Amino acid sequence: MPSMRLKVLLRGKLRSADLFLAAFLIPLFTLLLIDSNHFILGWNEGAGAGFLFAFIFLTLEWYDVRRQAWPNMTGKRLIGVAVLAAIITTYFVAVYEFGQSSLVAQAGAQFGYVSTPQILSWTRMLDYTLYAIYIIVTVTLSLGISMIKNFPTPIVFLFGMAFILLLDATFPYGSMQSLQILMQPILAVVVLMLTTSGVKVELIGYESIAVWGQKGFLFINMYWQCAGILSMTIYLLVILVLMVKLQTSARRKLAYAAVGAAGTFFVNIVRIFLIIYYGAFIDVNLHMFHESIGEVLFTLWIVAYLLAVTAVEARAARPFKPLTPIELTSKGLEPI
């Protein structure tokens, strides 16, 4: 009976400890209520989808450590978390509900970000940075500063997104030639796949594709932002962080990282192929499909990749049980 009571108490404590995650949902729910379009799966269309990915990563890491880390929510710490939630929520409400985005744009203009794409990238960069800082400080107040090391994936993801968006604002329209060069092998493979699939296509220069499809003619300029280099960078960062945390041999980590890098590159190739194929045979208006297919594919790939790694590691960790010689007796099977 005492053991049963202990189990009930522990289960109740674990459930109450999971309320720790609620603090990270408050800003997201607020943003969803005031601007649901913020959660569109598309580059620069809104940071909400990125916040959701970060929260998923945070949740997975919390369930790895929650039995060893209980939230130590004293009165002062609870007030601190509440104040933080109020600050980031107020920022979202001010910018996306009461039209204070002009102030954010004016701040960006001081650094030369004046065009619409640059302002969007600058604004999203601030969103990701603020949410990353919010996670760091909230974890510190709730669990202690030493626990930050147990939540690297959402932090790396958010700061990585912020850095890439800063690059996007600083070097718009393929002006960063070192990254623009990376597009050449990507486009070469895409053109080969399209040609094999019956699409009449021609690579013009190093960054443009001419497509003659059933729905009309398309001329597509591919800058490094559109070629998936941003997404590949972010997801490779996440994969590398997960590999560091994985409890296995260095050889296995390197193998998993190599598979993750190759898979991420291939998924990006498939993304570009599907976008152009869609324009050639389904609809020349690519905006909605272009802005959603990438996030969907990369999300499915990351989930499938993590499940595969988990399954392989679980199988490798399964203890080996040697067979026991047996003999058939009149009483049944007995060990020798």
Q: What is the pLDDT of residues 159-176, one digit of tens each?
A: 988 888 888 788 776 556
Average pLDDT estimate for 234-240:
76
Are residue 8 and residue 144 in the same domain, yes or no? yes
In a domain, 328, yes or no: no
Can you read off the two tokens belonging to residue 38?
């913020």
The answer to whether residue 8 scores a pLDDT higher than 60 is no
Q: Which of 119-133, 179-193, 317-331 has the highest mean pLDDT?
A: 119-133
Which pLDDT does position 14 carry in this prediction?
42
| Residues 157 and 219 occupy one common structural domain | no
Q: Are strands 200-204 and 208-213 parallel, antiparallel or unpaired?
A: antiparallel
Which residues in 74-207 belong to E strands, given as ranges? 200-204
Banded model confidence at residue 283, pLDDT cuts 50, 70, 90 = confident
pLDDT at position 132: 95
Query: Which of 155, 172, 189 is at the close of a domain?
Result: 172
Does 81 share its domain with 213? no
- Looking at residue 327, its pLDDT comes to 45
Percent of the chain at pLDDT above 90? 7
Helix (H, G, I), strand (E, B) or coil at 73: coil
Domain that holds residue 269: 173-317
Directed axis angle between helix 287-317 and helix 250-281, to 10°?
150
pLDDT at 180: 65
Rounded to an integer, the average pLDDT of 124-147 is 90
Mean pLDDT score, 244-256: 83
* Average pLDDT of every residue of the chain: 78
| Residues 13, 128 within the same domain | yes
Residue 140 falls inside a structural domain:
yes
**Has residue 46 been placed in a domain?**
yes
pLDDT at position 290 is 67
Number of domains observed in the structure of the chain: 2
Q: How many CB atoms lie within 10 A of CB 11?
A: 10
Higher pLDDT, residue 119 or 287: 119
- Burial of 94 per CB tally in 10 Å (0-12, 13-18, 19+): middle
- The answer to whether residues 198 and 144 belong to one domain is no
Burial 222-259 (b: 16+ CB within 10 A, else e): bbbbbbbbbbbbbbbbbbebbbeeeeeeeebbeebbee
Range scoring the smallest mean pLDDT among 12-26, 53-67, 152-166: 12-26
